[in-house]
Amino acid sequence: MEMDIDATSEVQEGGEENKGKQIVVVLVGAPGSGKSTFCENIMRSSSRSWARVCQDTINNGKSGTKQQCISSAATALKEGKSVFIDRCNLDSEQRSDFVKFGSPQIEVHSVVLDLPAQLCISRSVKRTGHEGNLQGGKAAAVVNRMLQKKELPKLSEGFSRITFCQNESDVQTILDTYGKLGPSDTLPNGCFGQKNSDAKVQQGIMKFFKKLEVPSDVASNTSDIQSAVPSHVIEKKDQSVTHEEVKVRNEQVANVPTLAFPSISTADFQFNHEKASDIIVETIEEFMDKLGNARLVLVDLGHGSKILSLVKTKAVQRNIDSKRFFTFVGDITRLHSDGGLHCNVIANAANWRLKPGGGGVNAAIFKAAGPALEAATKERAKSLLPGNAVVVPLPSNSPLYNGEGITHVIHVLGPNMNPHRPNYLDNDYTKGCKILHDTYTSLFEGFLSVVQAQARFPKRSSESIRTEPLVSKDKTEGVSGSYFPDSDGNIKEDDHNEFEKSKKFRGSEGKVSSHGNHPREKEENRKINGAAMNKAWGSWAQALYDTAMHPEKHKDVVLETSDDVVVINDVYPKAKKHLLVLARCKGLDQLSDVCTEHLQLLKTMHAVGLKWAEKFFNEDASLVFRLGYHSDPSMRQLHLHVISQDFDSKHLKNKKHWNSFNTAFFRDSVDVIEEVTDQGKATLRDDDSLMSMELRCHRCRSAHPNIPRLKSHITNCRAPFPANLQQNNRLVAPTR
């Protein structure tokens, strides 16, 4: 366990730019973890002026509200004091308002008292005279319940420093650290207190590779150094391993899927390097279990790159597998030819227009890839918003494809802290950190979609990389988190759905068809061994999945939850009543994933939908409902729409909205259940033409030129519903 023992030395390392800053310390810990004792001990010994904000006593000695705590903390900061936030703060939502205090003059730290549950419960039960009256027998149940919902803080929430304490010794160490802080002292940023027994050894070894022109796993294990690196390199600490040695080493992993990516937003967009490096390492750590044998490589041109150095050090501290993530110095467009590094996917720090131009990585990649990349990009997306990514299969006539073995370019756009560039965030690092985390998440999800496609369509030739890409031209859908802004720069609701519908699959056996849509390839992509191919779900598309898997974190929106389903209101309802019944089954992303084993779940979802329709009938007997699924949804996690047929909603704005519920694209739940019962799967209708069909009234089937005219008509239309909807219980109405 590596802890910051000597506060004085750390203050010196912290640099002059943070001198004299106030600190907000957000304590995180269950009742009984010792938060109040921690504050009192430091306030007794410290020469710094501290204020303790405790919700148990904020209201004239009695329990108060979170808002009172925020106000009290703001007052103390105005008075020039540093502040302890003495609350449990066990999830990010509880911490978020306090993180907002961060500014150029105020640092926000977190001290996590992550002590054993048994110890916290024992203390809570035994204590008397507790400020919040949480003591005795009732304390055990409360502590246990709170610990089950614990969500440890991350730097991406906006903290500049987080210290974890897992035992009493750790607590004493951090007490000493903060207790020694004088009025002008500061502490270094980062995460401290992880259980990395080898961290110091690895850090020492990595000093041999300051220029870091080799994968960091060369230096990750002392027993492997002599065999992996020539002895003269170890003897000369300032000498980097040559590219020739890298080539030899990388030939052994030539077929391993590899993503090379630059640091996003830290150059022209001027994002803070410390915060950016924290987010890079955090996001990589989140994806480690998903990567398999695939590799991530952070690339920069300069030997003295600050971001490479920071990320390298923090990755070692986090004990990240250096065989699957390392840093590399080189030109991202010539990693194979100049450096011997095999990468089949590269990331581009793009502009929002997804056009060549500017400088840096964007200009270099578009230039190296030639006109083919710009043309292929246009087929995939028109523009990009910060925090998102779009995967572009690289045509085989691109020099990057032929010369470097690059099969895909993933365009990403991060947050901007440069006032002279678009979407300036005005130094709002709370928002900026979230966007940057979303950016890397979208990037890595896009790469994983390529990796998954490689597994389904393995390379069919062992020819040289200069005539055959590392991964044969894959048939992934290749999109992660793309949006289209409207003419005002705002995101149009569900425009990403239209984008999903228009995706074209490219290539066949490493070749690109002239139309980018080979019939046999299209069918292969639609069905693989009888199952639909997985989509690349962007970060924006994960909301339903997160709600279904963790309803306890979304209590403000969840209407009902059980072992099988979660019920919520549609965020953009297309009618007076519009619910979603979410399946709580991992791996069931959409209707194409459904098979016979899911039949009972489909029936349960249908029954829950009927129950809610009945509830609405009690409120308004004029309502009529349809229950069904979209053939090709834009949001991950199988969900049943329960939608009233009035379509009276301000969110119903365009032809796509209407046709997604009033064409064959919408599959009635009763029909789906019948088809899965009889055939083992549902029939899907995801033809692009369905979304562009003329607007027709769902009752009388009359045609209308636009949505306003259609809405005006359906408000007064009393024609009976078409016969096909009145059959097989497709319509659900009150029993008369």
Amino acid identity for residue 447 in this structure: F
* Neighbour count for residue 735 (Cβ, 10 Å): 5
In the annotation, is 518 catalytic? no
- Integer angstrom CA distances of residue 77 from 27, 82, 101, 289: 17, 6, 9, 42
**Alpha-carbon dihedral angle through residues 25, 309, 438, 525, given to the nearest 10 degrees:** -150
Residue 342's identity, in one-letter code, is H
Edge-first strand order for the sheet with 408-413 is 325-329, 295-300, 258-262, 345-349, 408-413, 388-393, 479-480
In the three-class reduction of DSSP (H, G, I as helix; E, B as strand; rest coil), residue 493 is classed as: coil
CA distances from 493 to 558, 579, 620, 686, 734 (A): 21, 17, 28, 19, 32
**For residues 117 and 147, is the Cβ–Cβ distance under 8 A?**
yes
Nearest CA-CA partner of 481 in 533, 411, 429, 549: 411
Cβ-Cβ contacts under 8 Å for 522 (sequence gap 6 or more): 505
Q: Are 691 and 498 in contact (CB under 8 A)?
A: yes
Which residue among 639, 641, 657, 698 is the active-site one?
639
Neighbours of 31 (CB within 10 A): 22
27 token code pair: 């304590």
- Cα three-residue angle 716-718-724, rounded to 5 degrees: 130
Please give the single-letter amino acid code of residue 362.
Answer: N
Question: What long-range pairs does 7-16 form, CB within 8 A, spacing at least 24?
Answer: 7/176, 7/177, 7/178, 7/179, 7/180, 7/181, 7/185, 7/187, 8/180, 10/177, 10/187, 10/188, 11/181, 11/185, 11/186, 11/187, 13/188, 14/185, 14/186, 14/187, 14/188
409-420 CB burial, b ≥16 within 10 A, e <16 = bbbbbbbbbeee
Catalytic residues: 639
